[in-house]
Structure 1
Amino acid sequence: MTRLQYLPQRIDNDRFDVAPLLYAGLLSDDPHTVIDFQGQQLSPQALRQDVAAFQAWLAAEGLEKGDRVAVMLGNSVQHIALIYAIVLSGLVWVPINTKLRGMGLKYILEHSEPTLLMLDDEFAPLFEGAEAPGGRLEGNARVVNVADQDWRVSSRGDAVPPGELTHTPCEVGDTLCLIYTSGTTGAPKGVVFTHRMMRIATEAAIRVADIKAGDRAFLWEPLCHIGGAQMLLMPFLEKVTLLVVERFSASRFWSQWQESRATHLHYLGGVLDILMQLPEDAKPADARIPVAWGAGVSASSWQPIRDRLGCELRECYGMTEGSSFATLNETGKPGSIGRPLPWITLSLLDDNDQPVPVGAAGQIVVESSLEGTLLPGYWKNPEATAKALRNGRLYTGDMARQDADGDLFFIGRASDSMRVRGENVSAWEVERVFADHPCIEMSAAMGVKSAIGEQEIFLYVKFNEGQSVDWAELVEWARPRLAAFQLPRYFMKIDRFDLTPSQRIQKHKLSPDTGTAWDRAAK
């Protein structure tokens, strides 16, 4: 029986939900390696002691079911054990993006109202002075440096009894974590991510990645991102090993990949583009990536990536609000995000909530036959909840089109499109083409007012360090790769982009003034 057929039945059986599954897995005497952290191999028994110690300390601190614990840590065994302890204790995990600083960090910590903020030495300087570790944040959250903490002693100085692994019963609709997602404008929204959603996300990740017993999944993603978080349960559903590294490193990737004997790579944030830009000799001749799964490979890059990296590409689409996954490309059609997963119904709708014809762009709207797939709401944000959830459906704000075969193609955010000479142009599609240029690290396309009517396309370009290209030459390179109405008119070099915590360009900070831009129409 395939996972396609049995996923809903497994999900609907409560004894397989997150906390019971994790509890049973950690109590197992199975010797298989669950976590391999840069060569440190950990079985369930090895992890169990650390998880139990964290649980005992959290209980001694007086935390109760439903209390929120913010965590700002780099990838490590200790970080993973702490997450497991939070989940098993019925607490709510609030992952904090380690790249956050200033007002972005302050906003999430104030908005989520945690009881504790757990961090390590690397991030302690961010809270010096009145908000020093051992002190309290505004809102009365206690700050704990895990590097300094003796887990045998509570913050009050009381001895903490030796821990035993425990399991606080939770309902499937209870909140497991608050995951803050950042758009290009506005404050981040806290997705209320339930126990059921995490179980669905992990099962879906196993299906999307085609994970089987004996596989070894490379986990480089920050655990504050659903891309990494959804992998933490994998070893308790299938006998696989998570090969965890501190962070993605282009210079060390191939040595880490081969030493760990990895089989599966999740691509996120342009990871495959980065690997493709490495010198040819950076990749050992016998190295290959058997399976790469994720989102963002353009049709033009599809075959070159497969040829050079030796991988099967499993492109998908999803968002945190819908338990991470909604579609999967299983046919290998270049550039396609595939078709809906079996428990997902996906519609492409116009501004009047009517289905668009084949080939036309429409907003992706998702519903599910599997109860609990969609978020119950955004934390303390009823307006955003009402906008996203309507009549049992999730309005994603993303645009796609469908071809005559029924395969879907992602276009971009509904708010990130332009109208050029009667045509709708996706900024994402334009940017993906320029991402293929060997001298370009990143670009941002935006619509600016046209003297004739509608809009022209203005492209900001950040070149790779030490590289550049003449604008006219760049236009000629791009001309055969874009429709005429997709070709930018204005070009501007930029030294750095302001990015959101999830590494999206904050386009609202880019000036629409074309006065000093290069204008291809003026040549």
Structure 2
Amino acid sequence: MKQTGAAGAGTNNQGSLQMYIQGLANRLQDIADRVPERVFAQTAEGALTFGQIGAAANEVAARLLDRELVKGDRVVVMMANSLGALAVIHGLMRAGLVWVPVNPSLVGEPLAHVIRTTQPGLVICDAGVEPALADCDAAQGIPVEILRDRGLPAGGGVPATSCPDPADLAAIMFTSGTTGPAKGVMVSHMMLELAAEGVALCADLVPGDNLFMWEPFYHIGGAQVIVLPLIRDVHLTIADRFSASRFWQDVAQGGCTHIHHLGGIIQILLKQPPGPQDRAHKVRIAWGGGCATEAWRPFEDRFGVQIRECYGMTECSSLTTWNDEGVVGAVGRPMPWFDIDLRAEDGRILGPGEGRGEIVVRSSLSGAITQGYFRNPEATARALRPEGFRTGDLGSWDAEGRLFFHGRMTDSVRCKGENVSAFEVESVAARHPQVVDAAMVGVKADIGENDILLFIQPQPGHSPDPAEIWQWMARQLAPHQRPRYIALVPDFPRTPSQRIQKHLLPDDPALRWDRLSAAALVTPQEARP
């Protein structure tokens, strides 16, 4: 059964939407020329106007083209959030060069993988990144430009090239790489513009809104936000990073109306000590993905903010569905330019009440879905299929045609003859009052397939007993879902979007509590699911 939801109405608008897409560089220059005094963002250095960012983008574009870079050349950018980074990104888009955003803390083989894959003509980085580049064999011989001044460059240059077309490649954005080597998603100017359009719908933006931006520019969550003022009459309040302890203070001082949540941020904010700052703000909507169902209503009730959950991937213009109906746990209905099927393992299309299937995304709007992974034809062929983009994510429909997300198909463990979803086990663990977050992985079993190892980050100041946590979880999990091992870690290695990097978790059996060798086991009565 095909579920179109909002996409049914949107199909009639797809032609007009494609005509509406002008290209981000065109939009920036148009607004900078017409209303140069309009505010683009509030920063620690003060207000940033369209006139300033437009001139800075032209200056950067002209300077880069003077290096004899040509349209389509790749440029790796390793910069933390700053005015200088903002100018570089918009300058690259203005010049028609391909932005390759890279976390400035990346080192070693992950950095070499990005360099080898993209073969950039230039690396632009913050001061302090040079040692990582010097140690990277793949970066040898590539020109490096170090931006020691994090401020906005003075305008004056005029690039000797027209603005790129919406279909041109804007960026190669590498996936998080939580379980293996990262893949470079090819993102067009049109895809970035659609990503911003998706945010505007999900967040219910109106003229004058002010979005608090903590996301790193080099992640799709940040990239789509720094182009929002180009498509709506809104502005940004830019922070240098996410800080749970000062989050609401920063939001209130900025006068922000919207916040963005990713990964475990909702839970992290909920576990901060209550205080007067909880309601001393103007925020009305938190939009994003990854809100645990048990945290949804408590967050709304405590902070007076409506949660609007969405689902998506960089490969499909970032946002694929959004929930504006307030149904807890749902990721909603498709964006107007998308349709979704849920496919069973045998290829059947599933409808409401027919269980879980892989989320497959389709669009008749040319360019809404990536052309593939840069220089990775094998991964491209696996994902881009005749039936649509195979996300590798599990979903189900409710009776009204709303989508529910159930985690990655590959993020599961075969245990006692059953596939155990990490998403479901981690959600239970995260509800424990002494737990900040949790991550489940599989380890080789003594007999059979795998055993479950659960990593737990305790609340600050707590040293929970793994046996007690196991007993508490056992009452809420089926026998095959219960972890054999529990390991406590002070913190999790995370991606810029706050996803846990499971492949970096410690692999030392000595650090694990083992249920089978524990002195005190729960009784069958206590362990009843």
Question: TM-score when scaled to structure 2?
Answer: 0.88
2:83/2:152 contact within 8 Å kept: no
Classify 1:361/1:129 alpha carbon distance in 2 versus 1 (closer, same or farther; 3 Å).
Answer: closer
Shift of 1:289: 3.0
The one of 212, 220, 225 equivalent to 1:231 is 225
Contact 2:21 2:193 in 1 (8 A): no
- Could you tell me how far apart the structure 2 residues matched to 1:151 and 1:448 are? 49
Kindly state the Cα deviation for residue 13 of structure 1 after the two structures are TM-superposed. Answer: 1.2
| Equivalence for 1:219 | 213
In the other structure, the counterpart of 1:326 is: 320
The answer to whether the Cα contact below 8 Å between 1:65 and 1:91 also exists between their aligned partners in 2 is yes
1:493 match: 488
2:314 partner amino acid: T
Of the candidates 454, 458, 478, which is equivalent to residue 459 of structure 1? 454
The Cα shift of 1:261 comes to 0.4
Label 1:389 to 1:512 Cα distance change in 2 as closer, same or farther (>3 A): farther
Q: Identify which range, 478-487 or 191-200, moves more after superposition.
A: 478-487
* CA 240–289 in structure 1, closer or farther in 2 if over 3 Å, else same: same
How many angstroms apart in 2 are the aligned matches of 1:285 and 1:486?
A: 38
The answer to which of 336-345 and 472-481 deviates more is 472-481
State the 1:168 CA deviation.
Answer: 2.2
443-452 vs 193-202, greater mean Cα deviation: 443-452
**Cα drift, residue 423 of structure 1:** 4.9
Q: Higher mean Cα deviation, 441-450 or 99-108?
A: 441-450
Q: Is the 8 A contact 2:322 2:333 kept in 1?
A: yes
- Pair 1:430 & 2:430 matched: no
Residue 335 of structure 1: how far off its partner (Å):
1.2
RMSD: 3.1
Report the Cα offset of residue 150 of structure 1: 12
Query: Per the alignment, in what secondary structure is the counterpart of residue 380 of structure 2?
Result: helix
3-state SS of paired residue (1:144): strand
Asked whether the 8 Å contact 2:14–2:336 carries over to 1, the reply is no
Structure 2 counterpart of 1:269, from 254, 263, 266:
263
**Equivalent-residue separation in structure 2 for 1:25 and 1:62 (angstroms):** 28
1:445 — aligned with what?
A: 440
Residue 345 and residue 149 in structure 1: after superposition, are their counterparts in 2 closer, same or farther (change >3 A)? closer
Cα deviation, residue 92, structure 1? 0.7
2:289 aligned with 1:295, yes or no?
yes
> In structure 1, which of residues 499, 506, 518 is the aligned counterpart of residue 502 of structure 2?
506
Q: Is contact 2:75–2:98 with CA below 8 Å preserved after alignment?
A: yes
Aligned CA distance change for structure 1 residues 340 and 521 (closer, same or farther; 3 Å) = farther
Residues 130, 471 of structure 1: CA spacing in aligned structure 2 closer, same or farther, 3 A cutoff?
Answer: closer
Amino acid paired to 1:405: E
Return the match for 1:117 from 118, 123, 128. 123
Q: Which of 48, 57, 62 is residue 54 of structure 2 equivalent to?
A: 48
Q: What residue in structure 2 maps to residue 126 of structure 1?
A: 132
State whether structure 2 residue 515 is matched by structure 1 residue 519.
Answer: yes
Distance in 2, matches of 1:171 and 1:247, equals: 32
The alignment covers a number of residue pairs equal to 510
Decide whether the 8 Å contact of 1:201 with 1:230 is kept in 2: yes
Within the alignment, does 1:391 sit opposite 2:386 as a pair? yes
- Tell me which residue corresponds to 1:472: 467
CA contact (8 A) 1:93 1:176 kept: yes
Give 3-state SS (helix, strand or coil) of 2:259's partner.
strand
Q: Deviations over 1:201-239 (max 9, x none)?
A: 111111111111110011110011011101122112111
Amino acid paired to 2:257 = T
After superposition, the Cα gap between the structure-2 partners of 1:315 and 1:129, relative to the gap in structure 1 and judged at 3 Å, is closer
SS class of match (1:478): helix
CA 1:383–1:508 in structure 2 vs 1: closer, same or farther (change >3 Å)?
A: farther
Structure 2 unaligned spans of 5+: 1-5, 522-529
Contact 1:33 1:41 in 2 (8 A): yes
Aligned to 1:254: 248
Amino acid across the alignment from 1:146? L
Match of 1:199 among 167, 170, 193: 193
1:141–1:279 CA distance, 2 compared to 1 (3 A): same
> Residue 137 of structure 1 aligns with which residue?
139
- Summarize the Cα distance change of 1:399–1:252 in structure 2 as closer, same or farther, 3 Å threshold: same
Q: Given the alignment, which residue of 230, 244, 264 partners 2:238?
A: 244
Aligned to 1:184, the other structure's residue is in SS state coil
**Equivalent position SS for 1:213:** coil
Rounded to whole Å, the distance in 2 between the matches of 1:413 and 1:166 is 46
Flag the 1:383–1:120 CA change in 2: closer, same or farther, 3 A. same
When residues 275 and 501 of structure 1 are mapped into structure 2, their CA distance, relative to the original with a 3 A threshold, is closer
Task: Mark the CA change 1:90 to 1:485 in structure 2 (over 3 Å): closer, same or farther.
Answer: same
Once residues 161 and 277 of structure 1 are traced to their aligned partners in structure 2, the CA distance between those partners, rounded to angstroms, is: 45
Alignment of 1:132-211 (within 5 A): 137-138=139-140, 140-147=141-148, 162-164=156-158, 168-211=162-205
| 1:94-133, Cα deviation, whole Å (9 max, x unpaired) | 11112312221122122211111111224234335899xx
2:309 and 2:323 in contact (8 A); partners too: yes
Please report how far the alpha carbon of residue 509 of structure 1 lies from its aligned counterpart in structure 2 after TM superposition.
5.7
TM-score when scaled to structure 1?
Answer: 0.89
| Matched residue type, 1:215 | D
Larger mean CA deviation between 452-461 and 32-41 belongs to 452-461
Deviates more, 1:266-275 or 1:241-250: 266-275
- Range moving further from structure 2, 377-386 or 142-151: 142-151
* 1:372 maps to 2:367: yes
Determine the structure 1 residue equivalent to 2:30: 24
Paired residues of 2:286 and 2:305 also in contact (CA < 8 A) = yes
AA matched with 2:317: S
Deviations 1:283-311 (A, max 9, x none): 35433631001111121111111111211
- Kindly indicate whether the alpha-carbon contact (under 8 Å) linking 1:183 and 1:504 is maintained by their aligned counterparts in 2: no
- How many Å separate the matches in 2 of 1:492 and 1:515? 6
Q: Which moved more, 1:416-425 or 1:94-103?
A: 416-425
Residue identity over aligned pairs, in percent, reads 36
CA distance in 1, matches of 2:386, 2:434: 47
- Answering whether residue 6 of structure 2 is matched by residue 12 of structure 1, we say no
Cα distance between partner residues in 1 of 2:31 and 2:472:
54
Q: 1:363 and 2:358 equivalent?
A: yes
Q: State the partner residue of 2:82.
A: 76
1:229 partner letter: A
Residues 48 and 446 (structure 1), Cα distance of their counterparts in 2 relative to 1, 3 Å cut:
closer
Q: Which AA in structure 1 matches 2:148?
A: A
Q: Work out the CA distance in 1 between the residues paired with 2:89 and 2:246.
A: 27
Write the distance in 2 (CA, Å) between the matches of 1:235 and 1:150: 20
1:514–1:326 CA distance, 2 compared to 1 (3 A): farther
Question: For 1:146-173, what per-residue CA distance to the aligned partner results, in whole angstroms no more than 9, with x for missing partners?
Answer: 1269999xxxxxxx99413666243332
**Which AA in structure 1 matches 2:56?**
D
Contact 1:172 1:194 in 2 (8 A): yes
CA distance in 1, matches of 2:511, 2:122: 50
| Aligned amino acid, residue 71 of structure 1 | V
CA distance in 2 between counterparts of 1:102 and 1:123 reads 12
Residues 331-390 of structure 1, C-alpha deviation per residue, up to 9 Å, x if partnerless? 111111112222211111122222246252211111112111111011110000000001
Distance of 2:481 and 2:245 partners within structure 1 = 35
**Letter of the aligned partner of 1:504 in structure 2?**
I
